[in-house]
Structure 1
C-alpha cells in the first residue's frame, strides 16, 4: 500500500497549472468587469477591486486545498503564497484599503530572495532542496541558478513596488496577472544554457 506522505500522488501538469493560475486569471477577469462599480456591504462601500480581492482569497484557499487533496503535499512556495494572500488580502478587505494586497508580491519575492540569499551565504542552494527531483543539476549549476534567481526575485520585488506606487490599479492588475507570470517563464527560458550545461544524465553521478 502506498504511503501518500512519502509518495505524493502525481498530478497532471495542466491540472496543476490551472489550479495555480486559475484564481489569478479569474481575479483579472472579475476586476475588469467590476472595476467601475461600488458595492455596499454591511453599510460600507467597497470598490470592485476590494470585492474581487475577497473572492480571490476564497479562490486561493479552495485551489490550495484541492492541490493538497490531490497530491498529499504543498510546497513552501504554495504555503507562503497562501499565508500572504490571506494576511495581506484580508487586511485590504478589512481596512477597505487596496494597498495591502498590492504589497503582497513585494513581500513574497523579498522572502524568496532573502531565503535563497541566506543559503548562498552558507554555501548552499536552498533552490536545490525544493527542485532537485524535477530538475537534476550538478552542484555548480545549482549555485549559478540560485544566485541568478535570488537577484531576479529582488528585481521582481522592486518592479512590483514601482508599478503599484507609480501607476494605476488597472496597470498593476495587468502587471500582476501577466507581467510577473511572463517574467518568471522568460527567466527560466533564459537559463537554458545553464540547465543544459550542468544537467545530470539519468543514472550519472553528481560531480563534487
Structure 2
C-alpha cells in the first residue's frame, strides 16, 4: 500500500516526525533568505548581472524566497515522504503572490504575502473549530500531545493570533518605510510569535497527555 502524499493525521503511529529544531529551521530559513537578499540585493545584482533583470532588491529577494520555500518543502518530503499541510498551503501562496510580484514588477504583492498567509491560516483554524476539527494538531502533534479540550483552546488562540499578525503586517507596510517593514517581518514577527508561544505553556501543561512511565525490569 502506497503512502499518502499529504502528512498523516495527528496521532497516527505511522506518521514520521521531524526533529522540532530542524522543523523550526526549515520554517525560518526562507524568511532569513528573504531578509538578507533584500539587504544585499544591489550587491548581488552588480555581482551577477542576470539578477538585475528580475528587478529591484525586494523582487530579487522574492525570487530567492520562492526557491528557498520550495527547497524547505522538498527537505520535508525527503525526511517524511509526505507533505506537511500548512507549509504546503504557505508554499502555494508564496508562489502565487511571488509570481505576480515578479511578472507585474509590483512589490505590493511581496508586502501583502504575510497578510494573506496569516489571514488564511487564522481563518482555516477558526473554521476548522466551527466543524469541531482542531487542525493545529497537524502542526504541533510531534512536539506534544494534548487532550481534545487542550487542542480546541490552543487552536482558537492561534487562529486569533494569526489574524492579529495579518492586521499588524498591514499596519506596518502601509504606514512605515520599506526597510522598517523588512526588519519587522523577521526581527519583529519572530520575537512576537516566540513570546506568544511561551505564553501558551500553562495551557499546554494543563492539558498535556502524560505518557505512562516505563516500568523498570530487574534481572
Query: So what's the TM-score if we normalise by structure 2?
Result: 0.80
Structure 2 distance, partners of 1:81, 1:45, is 23
Q: What is the CA distance between 1:172 and its match in structure 2?
A: 1.3
Corresponding residue to 1:179 among 188, 193, 209: 188
Q: Secondary structure at the match of 1:46?
A: coil
Q: Does 1:27 align with 2:37?
A: no
Instruction: Report if the CA contact (8 A) 1:114-1:150 is conserved.
Output: yes
Structure 2 distance, partners of 1:53, 1:79, is 17
Q: What is the CA distance between 1:9 and its match in structure 2?
A: 4.4
Q: What is the CA distance between 1:200 and its match in structure 2?
A: 1.2
Q: What is the CA distance between 1:93 and its match in structure 2?
A: 0.8
* Aligned residue pairs, count: 203
Q: Does 1:16 align with 2:23?
A: yes
Structure 2 distance, partners of 1:195, 1:68, is 28
Structure 2 distance, partners of 1:43, 1:35, is 8
Instruction: Report if the CA contact (8 A) 2:115-2:169 is conserved.
Output: yes
| RMSD of Structure 2 on Structure 1 (CA) | 2.8
The match for 1:122 is 131
Instruction: Report if the CA contact (8 A) 1:35-1:49 is conserved.
Output: no
Q: What is the CA distance between 1:160 and its match in structure 2?
A: 0.6
Q: Does 1:88 align with 2:97?
A: yes
Listed as ranges, the gaps of 5+ residues in structure 2 are 9-13, 214-219
Corresponding residue to 2:202 among 181, 193, 200: 193
Structure 2 distance, partners of 1:149, 1:189, is 12
The correspondence of residues 41-80 of structure 1 with structure 2, limited to 5 A, is 46-80=55-89
Instruction: Report if the CA contact (8 A) 2:41-2:58 is conserved.
Output: yes
Q: Secondary structure at the match of 1:67?
A: helix
The match for 2:121 is 112
Query: So what's the TM-score if we normalise by structure 1?
Result: 0.84
Listed as ranges, the gaps of 5+ residues in structure 1 are none
Cα deviation per residue 1:13-64 (whole Å; 9 max; x = unaligned)? Answer: 4333333222221221121122588777699672111112112111211221
Structure 2 distance, partners of 1:52, 1:28, is 7
Q: What is the CA distance between 1:95 and its match in structure 2?
A: 0.7
The match for 1:144 is 153
Instruction: Report if the CA contact (8 A) 1:37-1:47 is conserved.
Output: no
